[in-house]
Structure 1
Amino acid sequence: MQQPVLTFTEGGIYCPAGGFYIDPWKPADRAVITHAHSDHARWGSRHYLCTRDSVPLLQLRLGKEISVQGAGWGETVKIGGAELSFHPAGHMIGSAQVKVTVGGQTWVASGDYKTENDGISGAFEPLRCHTFITESTFGLPIYRWRPQTAIFNDIEAWMRENEAAGKQSILVAYSLGKAQRLLYNLAHTGKRFFVHGAIYNAHEVLLGAGWPLPPVELITPDTPKNDMKNHLIISPPSASDSAWMKKFAPYSLGVCSGWMQVRGNTRRMNADAGFAISDHADWTGLLQTIRATGAEKVFATHGFTSVLARYLEENDIPAEVVRTAYGGEEETTETNA
């Protein structure tokens, strides 16, 4: 019987033929990284392999001194007895699915992904494979995203309402990924963008790497409050309800997260508005992707795994739940998705 291409271990998803781990949650000799969020890219491994676009982001997160190699989209990298390649996941800048082939069997580890092209993160690429490892962050039928254009229209209308009411507009968004998506898609408004230091640091790295993002202004203790009036502040979730944010009063707080799809979450987050804009696939996107892979077996990880796996089984797609250490990015789960 042929050995599985990938196995699930206490240290992460492991490739026996290649001797590497995909997004290991314990230090490994060789770590293949899907994207630079901290629950997938952890410090301590001896050598890292990721997409070229992810290299500066891994260095930002893990330190300039790490040993890291970047590969191009679709470029085949041979490691031991395995062939590996990266393909767009659409989750954030540099995010990838990892395709691994051993002895004619192909497995794909999706990492985190979304199927709507946001304009900056790359268009998701469905991959044919024998076995597919899928995330299931929003693996419930209630999660069905409206088109991105409609949500950004809502955000712009909210900003105009705040301006008319004499309130400062503040959007809460994860500092790496979501914040850049907002900036890219709101650049046409002509507004100035004022940001927290966590967002500024990531933004500067991406600008230095040549990404077409609008300029931002770092908020410091010396930034005049009047300069920000009628413009937009973007804050990471960690600064919500903090002394840093309270100094902008009067303000209206909008939270950008897929969790805002559920009525009541906006109020629970002490926000004035909730925008259900997610960097993960919704229920429809998950099912469409799984069918497009043609996979003979699906493993569901991090999220509503049991619901998704049961649905797949009921529809004649063999599926299994796998527990991982993913899904715990350093900023609260209510706002980083």
Structure 2
Amino acid sequence: MSEDPRGPRVPRKAVVEKPARAAEREARALLEKNRSYRLLEDSEESSEETVSRAESSLRKKRKKRKHLRKKREEEEEEEEEEASEKGKKKTGWSKQQTEKPESEDEWERTERERLQDLEERDAFAERVRQRDKDRTRNVLERSDKKAYEEAQKRLKMAEEDRKAMVPELRKKSRREYLAKREREKLEDLEAELADEEFLFGDVELSRHERQELRYKRRVRDLAREYRAAGEQEKLEATNRYHMPKETRGQPARAVDLVEEESGAPGEEQRRWEEARLGAASLKFGARDAASQEPKYQL
């Protein structure tokens, strides 16, 4: 016996006879009983009318009963279809859950294992990183504090240097500005005198104009002489003799320059050793004060 594709049927409820159907059955029995009797001739017409009325009522009731039966069958079929659909869904889901591990192939299993390994690796790396962070937290705090103190110290020193440097920078800037201003004013004065000589050389000037012209020429000559004197002083400063300043270190020997120029092998090492020995043999105090003599006789 083949299985119903719609699923197992739901057991039907017991049919209970309705009062209308019972009345119809009684009317049919009464009609059959009436047909079995032979009435008299004078009552034939009345019996025929009764039979026709009974048949018409029977047809109406049969039609109504047929409609109700069809409606009841449709409702039962709908209930069976809903129950079968629910059963199919339930059985299909359970079957899919049970068959999923069996239908999984090798690639899917390998991919799942790979993803699991990656998650475990990331978790392990995070734990190691957190442990190292906890261990080095105190060291970082100490180093940060030390770096902060050093930065504050450098800022303080830079501020002090800046305060000490600002006045010197102002002096230097002022000198450069004055030198530039002097040069520009002298050039303007020379250009003004050249224009007046070119334009008014043949014109007779008034007393005031002549005095002003002589004053401008005098200022120009003095400025030129001052510039020439400054240049001469700079030149003499480079050529004149200056008294050297006394130093406490040992004077450089002329033989060292000769040895450096010779470039003998091992000479630099020998000089270094002699310098170290000389520094170690130096004596300080009042014991050798009498042996020291001034370097220059003034």
Which TM-score bucket, shorter chain as reference? under 0.3
Q: Larger Cα Rg: Structure 1 or Structure 2?
A: 2
TM norm structure 2: 0.17
Higher helix share: 2
TM norm structure 1: 0.16
Structure with the bigger RCO (C-alpha within 8 Å, sep 6+) is 1
